[in-house]
A and B are shown apart, each in its own frame.
Chain A
Amino acid sequence: MSVILTEAEAKALLEKVLKYSKADECEINISGEKRGNLRYARNEVSTSGSQITQNLIVQSAFGKKVGVATTNEFSDDAFEKVVRQSEELAKLAPENPEYVGVLTPQQYKKSSGFFDSTAGITPDFRADAVAKSLELSRAQNLAAAGFWEDTHGYSAMLNSKKLFAYYPSTDVNFSLTVRTPDGTGSGYVAKGFSDVSKLDTEAATKIAIQKSTGSVGAKALEPGKYTVILEPTAAAVLLENIFFNMDARSADEGRSFLSKQGGKTKLGDKIVDERVNIYSDPAHPELPSAPWAGDGQPMERVNWIEKGVVKNMAYSRYWAQKKGVKAVPFPNNMIVAGGTATLEEMIASTKQGILVTKLWYIREVDPQTLLLTGLTRDGTFYIENGKIKHPVKNFRFNESPVIMLNNLETLGKPERVVSTESNQNYMMPPMKIREFTFSSLSDAV
């Protein structure tokens, strides 16, 4: 049997494993994955390889006593052993007051994230796609360092209340840094797709080359507050810190940026500009994701921030029960709605400002305000009277995405981006922001 199971094969296997269960409740998750990667630097292939993995996780419960065991061995003996192991652990465990039981069967939205094109990638296909990129950098005597990774796999689950779910998916991520031979210019591009036929390594490489040669001869500007245009790749690494911190329990406990005086939360409060709308939707055509969470909860479209107001926080099933509200799982994707403006139009409408194409080494400085620090990288440019005038030296910034989204000027047209920090894919618009705080200069190129 292949490592990647069809829906019928996965269901049959899960039913077989469930038959071994003697617990009050049992939940089984299964997954299989094939990954291939190609890495290169200094215009030469460096390391690359392949990895095949599969995993089966069994959770057994006797009352509120819960145990989990996992195996990557797929045989009848191993299946029985892993079920018994989870039951032994459950019997040994103290009662978990936060255990809320398994779910009954649910209805899921349709989401199509599996593409045969991506699943069929071979080592030669990878090498040919990268060759198109390398030819361009070599021809211009520029140094390319890049990474290609494709994945195809599935996940499925079944529990003792007969909830069954299955989701197959494919993904390909390609990123590239092109540097000038003297090290004075550097440009970057990253593209992520579910369907590899949308990935054009040649077109992507041209973007990185343009930023690389265009960033030579950067001039130093004084640190301070500037109007900035963040390209989607730069905006993603700031805004994802809002997404990661939408947990209701932390807010209720008073230790989140969503907490406020008197032990209350900001649910229902306007926290950013009214043009900001952030939602998740597993059926988004350009960013499909699994329509169910690991415990089988359905993933609906959820508005997290609507017209600048916090509309939803993530509630675990336990915390939702305790608070008497509906559970809202952490989403599998995130979409920041935008407008219609193109990046070029946003630049053309800017009297004075800085175009930031990428940000790097983002770290939280203060969880209370979501103050972040990090630096610009691989192409930063000064804009004057609607035109890019010249490249500028990199800056360190200290800024909160919450403050930033209150200083919003314009949102552009969203596109699919890969976070250079978390590797997550999002739909993200370019954005123009007033008074973005740069705190010092960096000599790095």
Chain B
Amino acid sequence: MLPGFAANVRTVSPEALMEPGLDVAVKKRLADAALNAAKSKGATYADVRIGRYLNQFVITREDKVQNIVNTESYGVGIRVIANGCWGFAAVADAKSDAQIAKAAEDAVAIAKANSKLMKQPVELAPQKGFGEVSWKAPIKKNAFEVPVKEKVDLLLDVNAAAMKNGANYVNSILFMVNEQKYFASTDGSYIDQDIHRIWPNFTVTAIDPASGKFQTRNSLSSPMGMGYDYLQVNPKDKVTGVTTRYNMGYDMLEDITAGAQQAKMKLSAKSVEAGKYDLILDPSHLWLTIHESVGHPLELDRVLGYEANFAGTSFATLDKWQSKNFKYGSDKVTLIADKTQVGSLGAVGWDDEGVNTKKWDLVKDGVLVNYQAIRDQAKIIGEKESHGCCYADSWSSVQFQRMANVSLASGKTPLSVEDMIKDVKKGIYIIGDGSFSIDQQRYNFQFGGQLFYEIKDGKIVGMLKDVAYQSNTQEFWNSCVQVCDERDYRLGGSFFDGKGQPSQSSAVSHGSSTARFAGVNVINTARKI
């Protein structure tokens, strides 16, 4: 799901983004005003998030800058429990104690109105207060300090390289995000955090006017929890092979040069013959399969039915977890949730309900061992504390359980991609993410990709097109026969993961090394209209 940024934002001039936000002492005073007002109206728990969200987008096509947008959104969201029921109210541009106290009162009034519908009061896992603390993303270069001209020049250079290498059209975008979040709660925490994200990406289009056909190739970059340092080119961050892929540093010029050539090659590539193939999935592709078939079904709110009206529920029911022997995947498959991984999109010091972040196993050697849970769910799975994966996409949105970074552990024995391919008789090597769809309980899925290479008798023999694979989550992960070692480990991720009503967007990373899945069903997607 790809919703845009929150609508409730304002654009500002480039320089304004470097102005500091409110002083931490002012934020503490405002937070206390909210907490006190909520308590005086009868709230038994309250938290307040004072947020300043900065975004910058530089959007170009061919030799034109289409838009440079700076947005800033500042406001306060207050969540309370009153009469055992949740209530929430948000107010924009609130800088006075009176405005904030009024919003706290509105949140309590909503909780009380809704409490008449309630049979079971909310119960929170205990959480100690941390006092006044702070966390900053360990970035090397703040993207908001880089002059706009430098960003525009990069994208226009990149576009020129695409056109020179055979693209008919090119669109390129640089997204940058800075979340400045202050959280306080009646548990006694006052947490100030500074989070950065970046995503350079492009689409090149190649057209064959004679046939009226067209093909595209999207960038192989990943959105990252990094600063502008992600765009510093370093040979150690490159993985060479059939095409170059990237780790903690992205060479946009190199990728688009290859991308333009590959989009043209796709026009004349062989249309795939439907059937069973061994799939070799690159991390730039596999992240999305992990996201949809592991990350989402192991969200406890989905398992319990809280998302039944929109995103759906989950096949990974509590009885399967309680059995302690549910084979989610083969014994090669260990999947880890992690809110602390450096450079990842999900990394923070504390989540949006004041819980310190951690790392834990979801699937261990193929067996389902845990879920992702927040404070009002922890006791359901016998946990004494939350996993620290609560998030709201804006001060104006209510926080709820969101996916941690979920990643596939690398293989324990040395194995390179080249060695993996040598062993495959009939296979397809897939690089980059494409079309994706999965059912509401996360059984049946279908994925496309960017680049498809046919493997015959241990060798790559050419490019394919019109490829999509279909499988069932448990069957797919149990068909995982090999995972490359940690030398091949890379992060992929989503900038815009949608969930909830009203829908909220969150950013999350998924790491893996290249993995092999045996005998997966591949379909041909070519049609004539």
Binding site for B on A (CB under 8 A): 35, 37-55, 57, 68-73, 85, 88-89, 93-94, 96-98, 123-124, 126-127, 130-131, 134, 143, 145-147, 149, 175-177, 179, 183, 186, 188, 253-255, 257, 259-263, 271, 360-371, 373-375, 377, 394, 396, 398, 400, 402-403, 423, 439-445
Contact = CB atoms under 8 A, between A and B. Distances in A.
A375 B525 contact: no
Contact of B119 (A44, A52, A186, A440): A44
26 contacts: A41-B307, A41-B309, A44-B120, A51-B90, A53-B396, A55-B10, A69-B12, A72-B73, A72-B93, A93-B68, A97-B64, A127-B116, A145-B306, A177-B308, A183-B313, A186-B308, A254-B214, A255-B216, A261-B211, A373-B446, A396-B439, A398-B523, A440-B444, A443-B444, A443-B472, A444-B440
B230 to A, nearest CB: 26
B435 A145 contact: no
Given A366-B526, A440-B444, A47 B120 contact: no
B13 interface: yes
B312 interface: yes
Interface string B144-168: 0000000000000000000000001
A426 B528 CA distance: 28
Nearest to A253: B169
Given A70-B10, A123-B114, A444-B312, A49 B89 contact: yes
A443 B109 contact: no
A369 B309 contact: no
B436 interface: yes
Contacts of A262: 209-210, 212
Q: Tell which of A45, A68, A175 has the most Cβ of chain B within 10 Å.
A: A45
Contacts of A98: 64
Contacts of B308: 41, 143, 145, 177, 179, 186
CB-CB nearest 4 A-B residue pairs: A49-B88, A442-B444, A444-B441, A145-B308
A48 B110 contact: yes
A130 B115 CA distance: 12
A94 B65 contact: yes
Nearest to B448: A365
B30 interface: no
Given A50-B110, A439-B470, A45 B118 contact: yes
A47 B396 contact: no
A140 B469 CA distance: 41
A85 B106 CA distance: 34
A400 B211 contact: no
Contact of A52 (B88, B92, B305, B315): B92
Contacts of B396: 51, 53
A41 B118 contact: no
B205 A369 contact: no
B529 A50 contact: no
A40 B120 CA distance: 12
Contacts of B307: 41, 145
Given A69-B11, A147-B501, A363 B441 contact: no
Interface in B430-465: 435-444, 446, 448
B529 A370 contact: yes
B209 A44 contact: no
A445 to B, nearest CB: 7
B326 to A, nearest CB: 15
A330 to B, nearest CB: 16
A396 B216 CA distance: 25
A98 B527 CA distance: 35
B117 interface: yes
A128 B396 CA distance: 25
B417 interface: no
A421 to B, nearest CB: 9
A45 B441 CA distance: 22
Given A42-B306, A444-B441, 7 more contacts: A43-B119, A45-B118, A89-B13, A127-B117, A271-B529, A375-B444, A440-B470
B86 interface: yes
A56 to B, nearest CB: 8
Contacts of B310: 147, 175
Which of B211, B435, B466: most chain A Cβ within 10 A? B435
B444 A257 contact: no
A50 B309 contact: no
Contacts of A46: 86, 306
B85 interface: yes
Given A262-B212, A441-B444, A442-B439, A72 B527 contact: no
Contacts of B9: 70
Contact of B117 (A134, A363, A373): A134
B415 interface: no
Interface string B29-56: 0000000000000000000000000000
B406 to A, nearest CB: 19
Given A53-B92, A254-B207, A42 B304 contact: yes
B172 to A, nearest CB: 16
B56 to A, nearest CB: 13
A398 B11 contact: no
Nearest to A420: B310
Contacts of A440: 444, 470, 521
B10 A37 contact: no
A365 to B, nearest CB: 5
A189 B169 CA distance: 42
Interface string B92-108: 11000000000000110
B20 interface: no
A443 B89 CA distance: 39
Contacts of A145: 305-309
Contact of B214 (A188, A259, A271): A259
B87 interface: yes
Nearest to B527: A369
Contacts of A93: 68
Contacts of B437: 361-363, 373-375, 396
A260 B307 CA distance: 42
B501 A369 contact: no
A377 B89 contact: no
B125 interface: no
